[in-house]
Structure 1
Amino acid sequence: MRLTGYDTSYYLDSANAKKEFASLEGDHVFDVCVIGGGFTGLSAALHLAEKGYKVALLEAEKVAWGASGRNGGQVCQGHNMSHQDMIAKVGKENADLLWQMSLDSVDLVKDLIEKHKIQCDLKQGVLHVANKAKHCDELKQSVDYKQNKLNYQDIEYLDKAQVSSMLGSDKYHGGEYWKQGAHLHPLNYALGLAQAADKAGVSIFEDSRVTDYQTGSEVQVNTEKGCVKAKFMLLACNGYLGNLEPRIAGKIMPINNFILATEPLTDEMCARINPQDVAVADSKFVINYFKLSADNRLLWGGGENYTAKFPSDIGQFVRKYMLEFYPELSQTKIDYGWGGTLAITLNRMPFFQRIESNVLVAQGYSGHGVAMATLGGKLMAEAIDGQSRGFDVFAQMPSPSFPGGTLLRWPGLVAGMLYYSLRDRLF
C-alpha cells in the first residue's frame, strides 16, 4: 500500500510499510521535545530514548517528508572543508576529531541499519570524479593527504582510464574512490529509524507543525492543537526551519535540488555504465550525482533553484544533465522526477549551536546529510546526557551568517551560484 501525505518520487513508490502517527492534541510533558522528523530528529530521538529519556518528536508533515526522504542517498566520509582549513579554524586536535567523526558518521549509519534490520538497499562504494583535467591535481593531493597525513587507507586515486572503466564514460578525468563509502534508499532508511525510535518508546507526532515556543528553565512548544512542555528542546528542521527561530535562520540558505529516475535499465546497460554499482558525484560547483537503484533504474541528481517553486517538469529539467554524460540514454524513458529542499551554510560545514542551555540546533549539512545528520542527532543526544565533546567541537567551528540575513541572503546566493555555474561551463 502506498504511503499517503508524501510527494511523488521513486522512493515513495518503493517505500517500505510505515506506521501512521497521530497529530499532537492536548498538553503533554516530556523530558525532551524534538522538532523535525528527518535524519537529525529521528536519530536524536532514538538515541535519547535508548538512554532512558522520555521523548516527543513533532513533525509538521510526515516522517522523512522533507529532504531526508528525497535525497541522493550517498553516505560518505569527509567534510566539505579540507582538514588543513579546519586546522586553521579550530586547531589540529579539534580538526582531527572532526575528521574522525566524519568516519564515525558512516559507521553509525551502517551500524543502525544492521542493529535495527533496516531494509534500505545498502551498497558499498562512493566515487568523486573530476569533470575537468585541472581538477585532478586537487583530487590527487586530497587522496595523498588522507593516506599519508591522516593514515586513512580506504581511499584511492583513480586515473582517467580507471574511471572510464568504472563508469563507461570518457567524460571524467580522474576520481577519488571512497571504498568504505556507501549509498542507500534514503526514505526507507529514515522510515527504519522512525520504526526503531517508536519501538524504543519515542512519542512521534505527525501533521503537528510547531507554531511557536517559549524558552526558560522549561520549554513550551506549541502546535495548533496542543503543546509539549519539556526540559530540553532540539531543533532539527534544517531546510524547513522557515521563521521558527530567527536567531539561527540566517546561518543557512534553503536551496532546492532535483532528481530523476529512469525506467529500469537492462542488465547489460547497468554493467556498462556502472559495473561496480557505486554512487558517483562530480566536481562541478552545482554537482551531478547518480547511482543505480535496486531495480536497475539510474537515479540522477542535477540542477538547483532557489525559489519557492519547483520546475514544472522536473524529469526534463534534470534529463539534460544526464544526457551530457550518457547520451546513449536519450531514448530512455524518465519515470520519475522530484525535488527537495536542503540547507547549506556559507562555509559548507554543519552548523551546531546551543542557543540556550536547554535548546540545541544541528542543521546546514550542505549535501552530507545522510551520514552527518544521523551523527548530528546522536551528538545532540549525547550533549543532553552530559557528554558534549563531539557536539561542542562542531559548535566551535566559526559559521558566518549569510550577508543581509534572511532578507538579502537569497539574491546574494543566486548571484554567487550563477557565477559558479558559469565557471562550471567555461573554465
Structure 2
Amino acid sequence: MTPAYPPSWYAASTTPLPVQPALVGRIDCDVCVLGAGYTGLACALELAEAGYRVVMLEARRIGWGASGRNGGQAIVGFGCGERKLEALVGADDARRMFDLSREGLDWLHGRLARHDIQAHWRPGHATVPLKPRQQRELQAMVEHFNTRYDHPVQWWDRQQLRGTLASDRYLGALYDPISGHLHPLAYALGLGRAAIEAGVQVFEQSEVTSLVRGARPLFRTAQGEVHCDFAVLAGNALLHGIAPELEARIMPVGTYIAATAPLGEDGARALIGNDMAVADTAWALDYYRLGHDHRLLFGGRASYSGRDPGDLQGIMRRRIAGVFPQLKEVPLEYVWGGLVDISLNRAPHWGRLQPNLYFAQGFSGHGVVATGLAGKLIAQAIAGQAQRLDLFAKIGHAPFPGGQALRTPLLVAAMGWYKLRDALW
C-alpha cells in the first residue's frame, strides 16, 4: 500500500507526483542518493544534468520528511548565526560561507523558474525581538550585516513594524528583503519532477536497511540493492542506524505548525501587510507567514523529548492568540508536526566519511535554502571540484553529550534553562 503524506495543509493544497516503484533486484549506477528531500533532490538533479547515472532511494515518498512539512521560511545564512560562525571558522571563511548561502537562494530561484515550480514564493523576512537584550543584539546585527556581509537588511522600529504587522508583542524588527517564504511541499515535488525528467531513477517505498562501505558502496533494501561509485547520505534526522557517527552529531527535534481557516485577502493583509515571513528571537521560537489562500500558518512548540505534546491543537491556539489576540476565535483547520535536525553548535555539518561517501545534515532550521546549496556542493565534489564543500569541513562538530541513552534528557534540561532565560532576561 502506498504511504500517504502526513495530513497537513501542504498535502491538502498540492497534487502528489505519480508513485515511483519500489526497488526490486540489483542495480548499478554512478551515484546513489539516500533520501528524496531537498538535499538529495538537489544533488541528484545536478549530477543527472552533468551526465551521471543517478539512483535515489526514498523510504516513503518524495518530500515526505522535513522537506514537505517545514515552516517554509527561506532564510539566507545558517542556523548558528553569523557571529557564531565567525567564532568557529574565522571572519573570512564565515563571509565565504555566507556568500555561498546567498548563492543557495539564487539556486532556489533558478530552479523555481527553470522548472516552472509553482511554490508561491514571497519575498521578505522579519526577525522580531521580545526583550530589550534581543533588540540590542538585532540592531548590532543590522550594522554587521551591512558592513561585513554587504547584506542589505534594515532595522524597523516598533512603530514601523506595527504599520506592517498587526501585533503589539515586538520591539522592532530586523527586516531582510532578500529572504522570504514558499510552499515547501510544492517546492520538493517540483524538484522531484525535475529530477525524474533529468533521468534520475527514483525508488520510493525503498527504505535502506544497511550500507556496506568500500570501493563501491552498497545500499541494501528489503527487496534489492544498489551498487555505486559514489554514495550520498541525505537522510538528515531519519537515517536510523545507517551511519552512527553522523547520527551522534545531530538531534531530531519535533516542530509543529497550525493552519487557520482562510481569513480572506483583506483579513490576511490586515495581519501581515507586506506578506513577509516572521520569526521571533526566543529559544523556543514562534514563526509564521500567510499561505497563498490567505490563511495564517503558525509554527512553534518545539519538542526535544522525542514525544509529541498533548493537546497540540490547544497549545497552538494559545500561541497564536499570544501574538494575534484578534484570531482567538478563528478555528484551526490543520495541525501537524515533523522532525528537523539540529547540530550541537547549530552550524551546518557537511562533508564526506570516506572519499566516495558524502553527507549533509545539521541544517538547524535554515534548511529551505541551505539544502539546495549542500546538494549542489556535494555534486560538484563528486565531479572533482571539492574546494567549496571542503570549506565546511573547517567547522568542528562534537557529538551530543550523554550518548544514545542520555543525550535526549540532557537536551531537554538545557532547553528548560534557555526558556527560563528568555522569560527572565
Q: TM-score, normalised by structure 2?
A: 0.97
1:28 aligns with: 27
Q: Hey, what's the Cα distance between the residues in 1 that align with 2:310 and 2:20? A: 31
1:233 aligns with: 231
Q: Hey, what's the Cα distance between the residues in 1 that align with 2:376 and 2:313? A: 35
Cα distance, 1:248 vs structure 2: 1.2
2:123 aligns with: 124
2:55 aligns with: 56
1:297 aligns with: 295
What letter corresponds to residue 78 of structure 1 in structure 2?
Answer: G
Q: Please identify, of 14-23 and 311-320, the stretch whose mean Cα deviation from structure 2 is larger.
A: 311-320
Q: Hey, what's the Cα distance between the residues in 1 that align with 2:143 and 2:204? A: 47
Q: Hey, what's the Cα distance between the residues in 1 that align with 2:408 and 2:61? A: 27
What letter corresponds to residue 390 of structure 1 in structure 2?
Answer: R
Cα distance, 1:4 vs structure 2: 5.5
Q: Which runs of 5+ in 2 are unaligned?
A: none
1:343 aligns with: 341
1:285 aligns with: 283
- Among all aligned residue pairs of Structure 1 and Structure 2, give the percentage whose two residues are the same amino acid: 39
Cα distance, 1:312 vs structure 2: 4.9
Q: What SS does the aligned partner of 2:11 have?
A: helix
Q: How does 1:141-180 map to 2 (within 5 A)?
A: 141-153=140-152, 155-180=153-178
Q: Hey, what's the Cα distance between the residues in 2 that align with 1:243 and 1:110? A: 34
Q: Hey, what's the Cα distance between the residues in 1 that align with 2:346 and 2:16? A: 34
- Work out which of the residue numbers 228, 242, 245 in structure 2 matches 1:244: 242
Q: What SS does the aligned partner of 1:178 have?
A: strand
Q: Hey, what's the Cα distance between the residues in 2 that align with 1:348 and 1:78? A: 12
Say whether residues 1:93 and 2:85 are aligned partners: no
Q: Is 1:260–1:314's contact at 8 Å kept on the other side of the alignment?
A: no
Say whether residues 1:406 and 2:404 are aligned partners: yes
Structure 2 CA distance for partners of 1:240 and 1:4, relative to 1, 3 Å: closer
Moved over 4 A (4+): none
Q: Hey, what's the Cα distance between the residues in 2 that align with 1:304 and 1:189? A: 23
Q: How does 1:18-417 map to 2 (within 5 A)?
A: 18-153=17-152, 155-417=153-415
Q: TM-score, normalised by structure 1?
A: 0.96
Q: Please identify, of 160-169 and 51-60, the stretch whose mean Cα deviation from structure 2 is larger.
A: 160-169
What letter corresponds to residue 221 of structure 1 in structure 2?
Answer: F
Q: Is 2:34–2:57's contact at 8 Å kept on the other side of the alignment?
A: yes
Q: Is 1:259–1:315's contact at 8 Å kept on the other side of the alignment?
A: no
For residues 5-46 of structure 1, give each alpha carbon's deviation from its aligned partner in whole angstroms, at most 9, with x where no partner exists. Answer: 211000000013412101100000010110011111111110
For residues 153-197 of structure 1, give each alpha carbon's deviation from its aligned partner in whole angstroms, at most 9, with x where no partner exists. Answer: 2x1111111111111111100111110112000000000000000
Q: Which runs of 5+ in 1 are unaligned?
A: none
Cα distance, 1:401 vs structure 2: 1.2
Q: Is 1:313–1:337's contact at 8 Å kept on the other side of the alignment?
A: no
1:15 aligns with: 14
Cα distance, 1:319 vs structure 2: 1.7
Indicate the RMSD between aligned Cα atoms, in angstroms: 1.4
Cα distance, 1:107 vs structure 2: 1.3
Q: Hey, what's the Cα distance between the residues in 1 that align with 2:68 and 2:104? A: 18
Q: Hey, what's the Cα distance between the residues in 2 that align with 1:353 and 1:148? A: 30
Q: Hey, what's the Cα distance between the residues in 1 that align with 2:240 and 2:377? A: 23
What letter corresponds to residue 385 of structure 1 in structure 2?
Answer: A
Q: Hey, what's the Cα distance between the residues in 2 that align with 1:32 and 1:11? A: 30
What letter corresponds to residue 419 of structure 1 in structure 2?
Answer: W
For residues 174-233 of structure 1, give each alpha carbon's deviation from its aligned partner in whole angstroms, at most 9, with x where no partner exists. Answer: 111110112000000000000000000000010000000111111110000000000011
Q: Hey, what's the Cα distance between the residues in 1 that align with 2:355 and 2:3? A: 38
Cα distance, 1:84 vs structure 2: 4.2
Q: Is 1:31–1:230's contact at 8 Å kept on the other side of the alignment?
A: yes
Q: Please identify, of 229-238 and 316-325, the stretch whose mean Cα deviation from structure 2 is larger.
A: 316-325
Count of paired positions: 424
What letter corresponds to residue 270 of structure 1 in structure 2?
Answer: A
Q: What SS does the aligned partner of 1:337 have?
A: strand
Q: Hey, what's the Cα distance between the residues in 2 that align with 1:57 and 1:317? A: 38
For residues 52-87 of structure 1, give each alpha carbon's deviation from its aligned partner in whole angstroms, at most 9, with x where no partner exists. Answer: 110010011111111110011011112233434433
Say whether residues 1:419 and 2:409 are aligned partners: no
For residues 313-363 of structure 1, give each alpha carbon's deviation from its aligned partner in whole angstroms, at most 9, with x where no partner exists. Answer: 433222211111111111101000000101101110111121011101100
What letter corresponds to residue 340 of structure 2 in structure 1?
Answer: L
Q: What SS does the aligned partner of 1:167 have?
A: coil
Cα distance, 1:381 vs structure 2: 0.6
Q: Is 1:259–1:314's contact at 8 Å kept on the other side of the alignment?
A: no
Q: Hey, what's the Cα distance between the residues in 1 that align with 2:255 and 2:43? A: 25
Q: Is 1:315–1:338's contact at 8 Å kept on the other side of the alignment?
A: no
Q: What SS does the aligned partner of 1:280 have?
A: strand
